[in-house]
A and B are shown apart, each in its own frame.
Chain A
Amino acid sequence: MGETRLTTNSNVTGEKYGYFLGCVMPAKMPWAEKATFLVANKLGLNWDYMKETLCCVRPGVWKTLDPDTWLTMTGQNLALAEKQGVTLVDSCNGCWISHYEALEELKDEPEKMEMVKEHLRKANMDFQGTVKVKHFLQVLYEDVGIEKIKANITNPLTNVRVMRHVGCHGRKLGDDVLPRYFDEILKATGVQLVNTPYDSMCCGLLVYFSDPKIAIYRNVFKKFKFAQDLAVDGIVVICSGCYDQFDRGVKVLQEEGDPTGEITEFDIPVLHFSEILALAMGYKPEDFGMDVFRTVSPTKLISKIKEGK
């Protein structure tokens, strides 16, 4: 596993990154998309959209239904990245695991690779399997390096308290990889991290199709109850899938009320990792439309940041 990750900072400038948007990011969190671009440009990365992308092929659904279809359709995205000559970068854990696992599986099993190639050839696409897949956190921590990020932070958010949520698929390589990068980069921005016992709990997106009550009243509610009790300024996520689920869960909880009757208002915003980074790098909330198109608007946080200045 370790071989596919870069450990040196040498080829920072040379690598061309293609940012894979996925389904949720463009349709539900445009502010995160903008913030990611601001951060990447500030850090001097060769950063652009990966174009013509499709759904990553949700592993939770398609892998159960038909693993071969999952591999082929993921192969289509990988082939596109290869054609465009970019390193595929995902910030959504779901997209990342889909691409990463499919690539690993295709490399391990030549028969599957042949099958995928065969199907893609029929659609006039060529696939060799030479593409690289990286998580946004890997790009930041391994390629850019924590020192460079620290050097770019001009406005440390020392008065902001946040809860964090890495997400299940982010833990695939172990707690020492993506979760550690997530924590260290967040600490570099100066925010105070609040620990709760439910930090590692799943957002509930994966179980939502089978039992929405567990997904919302157990997973989302428990997290937000802690957030509400501790009066944090937000829950920071990296995964768009987790944002989607939290957003949906909060909508349901706002509509139908707290099942235990203790909490009357759900007003903790869900923030994207890039937003925190962009704010700490000196961008204003208006630069990426922080309060646009959200279920819970982070007005309190915005005023706090402005007062802090």
Chain B
Amino acid sequence: MATQVKVSRRLRYPVTVPAINEKVTENVIIHDPSLCTGCMQCMIGCAYSHYKTYDLNYSLLYVNEDPAKLGSWVNANCSHCVSPMCLASCPALAIYKDDLGIVRISALTCIGCGICAQACPIAIPRPDTLKKIYVKCDMCNGEYPNCVKMCSTNALRLMHREEAFKFVNTMRGV
């Protein structure tokens, strides 16, 4: 595991905080709402590649209808942040970054408390009720992600991180 442990001394009771490994994945998954039709093919692809089922509840990314705009869709997918909130919040130090920069939850050390889901701004980690741990996107282990492969309209795209940042900013009108 890539995380080293350091102790924060400013707190009243010393708490171990994982040092942040600044390595990030080269590409990120980007969602373009103007093209999305809500077919949920990405979720099916994700559920199938990880769990061999078409059940949407097993998916590791989420498509929901935009409550602000009828017929528009929002997609929540992990961006494998530079300094992930989930990693910082984990009390069991089960979340780590691997060599590729993919943020992972260790199935062996996870205690299933769910703090990571609360810490994540878009609540990406979800409980796996069978294993009683939390699971999250693993970027298909660095291969071409199945959700992007399955997207029927090119709304989900794999982009270089800097390019993606610019793209999202223009989309937001910043």
Q: Do A and B interact directly, with beta carbons closer than 8 Å?
A: yes
Residues of A within 8 A of B (CB): 60, 63-65, 67, 97, 168-169, 171-172, 174-175, 196-202, 204, 206-207, 209-211, 214, 219
Interface residues on B, range: 20 to 34
Q: Point out the residues of chain B lying under 8 angstroms from A97, CB to CB.
A: 152
Q: Point out the residues of chain A lying under 8 angstroms from B43, CB to CB.
A: 210
Q: Which residue of B lies closest to A203 (CB)?
A: B39
Assembly CA distance A246 to B154 (angstroms) = 23
Known: A168-B153, A210-B54. A64 touches B49 (CB 8 A): yes
Q: Point out the residues of chain A lying under 8 angstroms from B54, CB to CB.
A: 64, 209-210
Assembly CA distance A204 to B39 (angstroms) = 6
Assembly CA distance A175 to B36 (angstroms) = 11
Q: Point out the residues of chain A lying under 8 angstroms from B41, CB to CB.
A: 60, 168, 206-207
Majority-rule SS of B interface residues: loop
Q: Point out the residues of chain A lying under 8 angstroms from B39, CB to CB.
A: 168, 202, 204, 206-207
Q: Point out the residues of chain B lying under 8 angstroms from A172, CB to CB.
A: 152-154
Whether B99 sits at the interface, judged by CB under 8 Å, is no
Contact of B71 among A171, A200, A207 (CB under 8 A): A200
Q: Can you show 5 pairs from A to B with CB atoms below 8 A apart?
A: A197-B71, A202-B40, A207-B44, A210-B47, A219-B38
B40 adjacent to A210 (CB under 8 Å): yes
Assembly CA distance A196 to B149 (angstroms) = 29
Q: Which residue of B lies closest to A196 (CB)?
A: B71
Q: Point out the residues of chain B lying under 8 angstroms from A198, CB to CB.
A: 70-71
Assembly CA distance A97 to B99 (angstroms) = 36
A199 adjacent to B71 (CB under 8 Å): yes
Contact of B37 among A63, A67, A197, A201 (CB under 8 A): A201
Assembly CA distance A97 to B39 (angstroms) = 15
B71 adjacent to A201 (CB under 8 Å): yes
Q: Which residue of B lies closest to A65 (CB)?
A: B48
Q: Point out the residues of chain A lying under 8 angstroms from B47, CB to CB.
A: 210
Q: Point out the residues of chain A lying under 8 angstroms from B149, CB to CB.
A: 63, 67
B40 adjacent to A207 (CB under 8 Å): yes
Whether B35 sits at the interface, judged by CB under 8 Å, is yes
Known: A201-B37, A206-B40. A168 touches B152 (CB 8 A): yes
Q: Which residue of A lies closest to B71 (CB)?
A: A197
A169 adjacent to B152 (CB under 8 Å): yes
**Additional A-B contacts beyond A171-B154, A201-B37 (5; CB < 8 A):** A169-B152, A200-B37, A207-B40, A207-B56, A219-B38
Q: Point out the residues of chain B lying under 8 angstroms from A175, CB to CB.
A: 35
Whether B112 sits at the interface, judged by CB under 8 Å, is no
Min CB distance, A133 to chain B, in Å? 17
Assembly CA distance A67 to B45 (angstroms) = 12
Whether B110 sits at the interface, judged by CB under 8 Å, is no
Min CB distance, B103 to chain A, in Å? 25
Whether B150 sits at the interface, judged by CB under 8 Å, is yes
Whether B163 sits at the interface, judged by CB under 8 Å, is no
When A and B form their complex, which 5 residue pairs have the shortest distance between CB atoms, in order from nearest? A202-B39, A197-B70, A197-B71, A210-B54, A168-B152
Q: Point out the residues of chain B lying under 8 angstroms from A202, CB to CB.
A: 37-40, 152
Whether B162 sits at the interface, judged by CB under 8 Å, is no
